[in-house]
Amino acid sequence: MQQFIDNYDFAGKKAIVRVDFNVPLNEKMEITDDTRIRAAIPTLKKVLEKGGALIIMSHLGRPKGVTEKFSLKHILGRVQELLGVPVKFADDCQKADEQVAALKMGEVLVLENLRFYAEEEGKPRGEFATDEEKKAAKAVVKENQKEFVKKLASYADCYINDAFGTAHRAHASTALIAEYFPNDKMFGYLMEGEIKAIDRVLKTPEHPVTAIVGGAKVSSKIGIIENLFDAVDNMIIGGGMVYTFIKAQGGKIGRSLCEDDQQELALNILKKAEEKGVKVYLSREVVIADDFSNDANTKICLNSEIPDGWEGMDAAPSTLAMWEEVLMNSKTILWNGPVGVFEIPAFAKGTNRIAEILAKATENGAFTLVGGGDSVAAVTQMGFAKKVSYVSTGGGAMLESLEGKELPGIAAIRK
């Protein structure tokens, strides 16, 4: 059964909510970017407004046990500020029974970092002399994990997962706990937004659908490209990965980025696209440079005629114009990966232009989703995040969704 929080009556109920409060902290233990906390606030406020109580659980960093540096107490002040109510803290997520029992409706309790226990991830910690020893240790953690999950579940009447950033992990709090709430488990607003955005591209898109896939390596995007062939009409391929395709076709790529062992795969991708009727638009003219730096000499040339000693760094204006035409005729657009070395200002123009085109397409009524690591950083950095339809918050989780994998955190609620 699939549930969203708007359909649930929280009055008189204690809700245990898995959020992703894994925020960056500086040496003074101050939060340097609270985006992830803010992302969960609408869900948390909803439970309180509807008359429920909140038990909030999260991980922070990658502790190997109880570690002061990774304590969630550092972020309580910010959570309190954003929620506008006092927040209590349980300094051991497995020993919160008394605090939970005392929790009244409208109150909030944050549990200490779940990853202080190896049982959260279900993986043994430490060094093992042999594989046998490691296997045995894993069996112990897996066995103890059952009690760990049971304890967390015992605190609440219902379970909400709003941690999209960890939805691709089958951990205690992101997946296993759901089975204790067969009729009282649901997605929070953040998860709901991500799921609906992905479905709008992969399952129920308005055609034509165009994907822009950029980034450095073919090998890291192959899963996405192949899966997208079943959903899209057009595929724009840019960035460093293009040169592997061009070299495989016999072009001269100078010293551009290339994965020699992926050339055959690149040719297979193009063949598959043809079989599936997907039109592929590789960058044609590119900006090349004689050095990987902002003050390198630059020229524009065809991607198959790059002189020795030069490398392709960005999409040239004529390539961007060709892509713009395809994009402005699309009703659904997905963007994953920059089309140039956008970290260097001189080679950020192509990626910047894609952000502008997506903003324009969105204004014209297209649904535009930006998902996965560096393209998210690019639209945010360029100030376009609010001008596209949806910017995903989950790097790995979004990538796995685009590869067509069912995420454990989503499956556990849908089951």
Only one of the segments 65-73, 153-161, 188-196, 334-342 lies at the binding site for ligand AMP (rule: CB under 6 A); that segment is 334-342
Select which of 396, 404, 405, 414 is catalytic: 396
Only one of the segments 27-35, 186-194, 340-348, 382-390 lies at the binding site for ligand AMP (rule: CB under 6 A); that segment is 340-348
In the chain, % helix, strand, coil (3-state, to 5) comes to 45, 15, 40
Query: Is position 142 annotated as part of the catalytic site?
Result: no
CA–CA gap between residue 329 and residue 366 (Å, rounded):
9
Task: Please compute Rg for the chain using Cα positions.
Answer: 24
Tokens matching residue 150: 């049971």
Task: Decide: is 188 part of the binding site for ligand AMP (CB under 6 A).
Answer: no
Task: Decide: is 337 part of the binding site for ligand AMP (CB under 6 A).
Answer: yes
Neighbouring C-beta atoms of residue 32, cutoff 10 Å: 8
CA–CA gap between residue 196 and residue 192 (Å, rounded):
6
CA–CA gap between residue 332 and residue 364 (Å, rounded):
11
CA–CA gap between residue 279 and residue 272 (Å, rounded):
11
CA–CA gap between residue 323 and residue 283 (Å, rounded):
8
Whose tokens are 């043994």? That residue is 124
Q: Which of 216, 265, 328, 385 binds ligand AMP (CB under 6 A)?
A: 216
Q: Is the distance from CB of 54 to CB of 15 less than 8 angstroms?
A: yes
Site string for ligand AMP, 297-316 (x = CB under 6 A): ---------------xx---
Whose tokens are 């008189």? That residue is 12
Output the smallest distance, CB 335 to ligand AMP, in A.
11
End-to-end Cα separation, the chain, in angstroms? 6
Q: How many residues bind ligand AMP (CB under 6 A)?
A: 17
Select which of 372, 373, 394, 409 is catalytic: 373
Classified as helix, coil or strand, 300 is strand
Select which of 88, 200, 217, 252 is catalytic: 217
* Residue 236 bridge partners (DSSP): 212, 281
Site string for ligand AMP, 350-379 (x = CB under 6 A): -----------------------xx-----
Output the smallest distance, CB 378 to ligand AMP, in A.
9
Query: Is position 396 annotated as part of the catalytic site?
Result: yes
Nearer to ligand AMP, 44 or 378 (CB): 378
At how many degrees (to 10) do helices 218-228 and 263-276 cross?
10
Only one of the segments 22-30, 66-74, 209-217, 265-273 lies at the binding site for ligand AMP (rule: CB under 6 A); that segment is 209-217
Instruction: Enumerate residues 237-256 that contact ligand AMP by CB under 6 A.
Output: 239-240
Query: Is position 150 annotated as part of the catalytic site?
Result: no
CA–CA gap between residue 125 and residue 140 (Å, rounded):
11
Site string for ligand AMP, 68-107 (x = CB under 6 A): ----------------------------------------
Query: Is position 217 annotated as part of the catalytic site?
Result: yes
Interface with ligand AMP (CB under 6 A): 215-217, 220, 239-240, 257, 312-313, 337-338, 340-343, 373-374
Active site (catalytic) residues: 36, 217, 373, 396
